[in-house]
Amino acid sequence: MPARGCKRLLLVGDERKGGSKALIAHHATWLTGRGCECEIVMDRESSLEDREADCVVVWGGDGSLLGTARRMGQNQRPTLGINRGRLGFLTSFEYEHTQQALDMLLAGELHEEPRLMYWCSMQGLDGTTSEPVLGLNDVVVSRAAVGGMILLRAFRGSSELASYRGDGLVTATAVGSTAYSMAAGGPVLAPDMDALVLTPLASHTLSARPLVLPVGEGIDIEVVETGNKKYAYCQIDGQIQMQVPVGGRVILRPAKTRFRHLGLGPMHFFQVLHAKFGFASVAKPR
């Protein structure tokens, strides 16, 4: 549905990226001149959950958008991404179109599209569970960089879905299906699907293939073997890392909250997929 105009804006950038603060301050001045209240946040680690805002605008790449979603916690607000990174697949506009993006935001012409989020935690051998981390993209359980193959088992409830021996396993949402999962040979899912795709990494068996399933109550991934290392590693959205011992489990559960993506409508995803990845392009005859 169309998103209504926003008056209190949270402008998010990354202080490590050169020129970001000055660029965002410039746009904040323009927005203030049009009656908006603006708060600028450049610290990439600070929580955004308790800050007052009707909408959030993020300047950066996909990592910046994922980090912002996690930092908003259970207080998700409509979020517009403007790409200043390399690929920027999750962002709705390139930086050179910033003015168009902000004009459309204030005019209420952008569409709010809810996206599945999840909670991820680690259960140790003693049954204790770590503090859950909110994610949007994917959970990757993998071997150590110089370790041997690992063996993982995926469960839903008490039922085993599959086992994977190799470098690891990517469990991606529909949003994350165009990231590491796709690079490893997984399918592309439309971003509004409430589904997970399990994509093995360098599987030792030819029968191991990507598996798509409804999100349901989530899944558990048990670490059965870790080669000659003490731990496997779990990465959440490529930003948060945990160690998982043999016998431990990575627990992934759907979150009640949704990421509130602001964009140009459902078909824009396929336009970007074609433009940035050459998806389903037909080779031109020579």
The tokens of 36 are what? 């908006």
Provide the edge-to-edge strand list for the sheet that holds 231-236: 211-214, 195-201, 168-173, 138-142, 231-236, 240-245
Going 5 to 10 to 15 to 16, the CA torsion angle's sign is negative
The catalytically annotated residue of 14, 62, 138, 167 is: 62
Which residue is listed with tokens 């959970």? 139
Residues 6 or more apart in contact with residue 63 via CB below 8 angstroms: 85, 238, 239
- Read off the DSSP letter of residue 174: T
Residue 43 is a catalytic residue: no
What are the distances in angstroms from CA 245 to CA 40, 55, 84, 228, 241?
40, 40, 38, 12, 13
Tokens standing for residue 74? 């259970």
Instruction: Give every CB contact of residue 189 below 8 A, 6+ residues apart in sequence.
Output: 174, 177, 195, 197, 212
How far is it, in rounded angstroms, from Cα 145 to Cα 155?
A: 25
In sequence order, what are the beta bridge partners of 259? Answer: 115
- The helix/strand/coil state of 150 is strand
* Catalytic residue set: 62
